[in-house]
Amino acid sequence: MVSGTQLVLYQISHTTTYTYSDPVTLQPHLIRLRPRSESWQTLNLFSLQVTPIPIAQSEITDLDGNTFIKVWFPPELTPSLNIQVLSQISTHQSNPFNFLLEPWATSIPIDYPTSLFKQLQPYLNSTDSIALQLAYEIAERSQNNVLQFLNELTQQIYTSCEYQVRETGNPYPPGLTWTQKKGSCRDLTVLFIEVCRAIGLAARFVSGYQEGDPDHPDRYLHAWAEVYLPGAGWRGYDPTHGLAVSDRHIALAASAIPEYAAPIAGNVTRPGGAQSTMNYSLQIQRLSEPPFK
């Protein structure tokens, strides 16, 4: 394994606009569009503009260490909500395998110490029978080796499932995704997470951005999984792209529950209700290249 870091600097411009069929009153909203700043990435610049202008806002750190922003709005009716974010982030983990597992954590099932097992409980529960069957099949092929299991699972979902763009809505149940062999990035991620949990590996959902193909201009919010590996901490796996996460991903928020990593969450009110339409603009620009070895 190789240690060391190589910085890559990204600038992200992300605008989301909700337009309502009739003017509405905006209830408080949670905005989880501030990139994490940690050992994998450093947030150098962040600005947020919201229209209508909030009457108050507060930065909050949740149980997973995510920093999000809660905004309160004036009581007046509005026909739209616009959220504009500009970020600059340095990523600095070009090698996703620069770790050594604890000796007791190389085989499935991992025999977690009692204190660690209690902390990981929210990331371990799974009840999906299809995910359990898939977990047993991959564990047998990988001879219960933890890292081989994660690699096999990543590749199995990547090669077996058709990727589809689905911009709104909660993730589909993992059994449905595997049966249909298709899904959005969040559907494939939830499937990956449930299979990990079914075999006793702690896993959580991550929302964020991925650099994307430079030959294609379209960019989308992305989702992947993080697995807790004793001796390595949380490590990312992206079944949509079939790879371990390194310095081409930018994380926004992580949670045991996908809804708690949603980039924007909030309600609107209007007597009789109103329909909403979401439009967005997303640019991800790489400002610097890592040096060649």
Pairing, β 67-72 against β 8-31? antiparallel
Q: Which two tokens stand for residue 232?
A: 């390595």
Cβ-based neighbours of 19, under 8 Å, separated by 6 or more: 79, 80, 276, 277, 279
Secondary structure element (H or E) that encloses residue 193, with its range: helix 185-198
Domain that holds residue 18: 8-92+262-286
Question: Are residues 235 and 113 located together in one domain of the fold?
Answer: yes
Per-residue model confidence (pLDDT) at position 273: 81
- Please indicate, yes or no, if residue 281 is contained in any of the structural domains: yes
Low-confidence ranges of the chain (pLDDT < 50): 1-4, 291-293
What confidence score (pLDDT) does residue 175 get?
A: 93
| Non-local CB neighbours of 187 within 8 Å, separated by 6+ positions | 166, 171, 172, 177
Same domain, 75 and 129: no
Q: Assess whether 50 and 123 both reside in one domain.
A: no
CATH number at residue 214: 3.10.620.30
- Joined together, the tokens standing for residue 63 give 């149980």
Same domain, 149 and 78: no
The reported pLDDT for the residue numbered 4 is 47
Q: Could you tell me if residue 256 is inside a domain?
A: no
- The rounded Cα 96 to chain-centroid distance in angstroms is 17
Same domain, 111 and 219: yes
Does residue 141 fall inside a structural domain? Answer: yes
Per-residue pLDDT, 212: 78
Is residue 75 located within the same domain as residue 203? no
d(CA 69, CA 32): 7
Shortest CA distance to 146 belongs to which of 83, 222, 261, 237?
237
Structure tokens at 45: 């610049």
User: Looking at the domain assignment, is residue 216 inside a domain?
Assistant: yes
Co-location of 42 and 152 in the same domain: no
Upstream peptide bond of 96 is cis (omega within 30 degrees of 0): no
Q: Are residue 121 and residue 62 in the same domain, yes or no?
A: no
